[in-house]
């Protein structure tokens, strides 16, 4: 099953862009979809492409605004009447990109503990220097101790941030304020959703909001 066909998005892609198959920068197929387990608890984020494959293979249902759940067929029928701007349009039919899906078999719960790891620091900070805001090549990103280890700084979520080589060199063994640098965000332990590797919408829909806990809203979003 391949949904790499045509589509339209609110970002206004033209047809030439849509013909570039999967790597389209603004493809609706890459929209983030919230995934619930069968107990209606948010457990993951996936792409619209993956969500539609799960739906088509009957491993998932779409959760609609009114909490009704839909199979691929019923969602497809419903999509025809929707005035949504996010649709996958094929020569034969069109189907709306779901915002939330529910897995029919999966009953596990999301991880309570976010592992303190290099990968998760990179995901939390969105591969961005937390001092100057640049997004350099990954090999030019370093992990900086805000309070240097030589001055008692610990290696914990609250004291490490990504920094580009230039900022890290400029900072040296000083505090940010001593080096004339300002942190763009206060480092903290991320919500597990921020470590899925998927972009979180900057303004999650109201449907997402109903399934996400307060901890999520207190966590900085990836842009
Ligand atoms: Zn920098």
Provide the pairing of β-strand 60-63 with 69-70: antiparallel
Q: How far apart are CA 88 and CA 99, in angstroms?
A: 13
Q: How far is the CA of 29 from the centre of ligand 1 (A)?
A: 32
Assign residue 134 the CATH number of its domain: 1.10.30.50
Q: How far is the CA of 108 from the centre of ligand 1 (A)?
A: 39
Same domain, 62 and 146: no
Q: Whole-model pTM? A: 0.66
**CB neighbourhood size of 149 (10 A):** 11
Same domain, 63 and 98: yes
Q: How far is the CA of 221 from the centre of ligand 1 (A)?
A: 19
Q: Which of 58, 76, 103 is the last residue of a domain?
A: 103
Q: How far apart are CA 216 and CA 223, in angstroms?
A: 14
Same domain, 74 and 144: no
Is residue 217 in some structural domain?
Answer: no
Number of domains, the chain: 2
Coil, strand, or helix at residue 102? strand
- List the domain range (segments joined by +) for residue 162: 118-179
Q: How far is the CA of 45 from the centre of ligand 1 (A)?
A: 29
Q: What is the per-residue pLDDT across 142-189, written as a single tens digit (0 to 9) for each?
A: 999 999 999 999 999 999 999 999 999 999 999 999 999 999 999 999
Q: Is 164 exposed, middle or buried (0-12, 13-18, 19+ CB in 10 A)?
A: buried
Same domain, 138 and 99: no
**What order do you get walking across the sheet with 69-70 strand by strand?**
42-47, 32-36, 100-103, 60-63, 69-70
Q: What is the per-residue pLDDT across 185-210, written as a single tens digit (0 to 9) for each?
A: 999 998 877 777 776 666 667 788 88
Q: Are the CB atoms for 197 and 123 separated by under 8 Å?
A: yes
Is residue 111 in some structural domain?
Answer: no
Q: How far is the CA of 204 from the centre of ligand 1 (A)?
A: 29
Is residue 133 in some structural domain?
Answer: yes
Is residue 62 in some structural domain?
Answer: yes
């Amino acid at each position: 099953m391949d949904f790499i066909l045509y589509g339209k998005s609110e970002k206004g892609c033209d047809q030439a862009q849509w013909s570039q198959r999967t790597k389209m920068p603004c493809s609706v197929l890459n929209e983030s979809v919230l995934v619930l387990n069968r107990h209606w608890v948010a457990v993951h984020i996936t792409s619209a492409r993956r969500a539609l494959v799960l739906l088509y293979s009957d491993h998932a249902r779409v959760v609609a605004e009114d909490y009704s759940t839909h199979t691929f067929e019923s969602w497809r029928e419903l999509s025809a009447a929707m005035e949504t701007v996010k649709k996958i349009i094929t020569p034969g039919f069109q189907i709306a990109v779901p915002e939330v899906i529910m897995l029919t078999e999966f009953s596990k719960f999301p991880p309570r503990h976010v592992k303190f790891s290099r990968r998760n620091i990179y995901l939390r900070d969105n591969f961005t220097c937390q001092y100057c805001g640049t997004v350099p090549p990954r090999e030019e990103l370093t992990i900086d101790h805000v309070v240097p280890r030589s001055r008692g700084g610990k290696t914990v979520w609250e004291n490490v941030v990504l920094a580009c080589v230039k900022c890290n060199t400029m900072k040296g063994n000083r505090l940010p304020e001593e080096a004339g640098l300002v942190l763009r965000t206060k480092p903290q332990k991320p919500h597990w959703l921020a470590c899925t590797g998927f972009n979180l919408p900057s303004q999650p829909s109201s449907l997402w909001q109903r399934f996400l806990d307060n901890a999520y809203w207190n966590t900085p979003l990836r842009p």
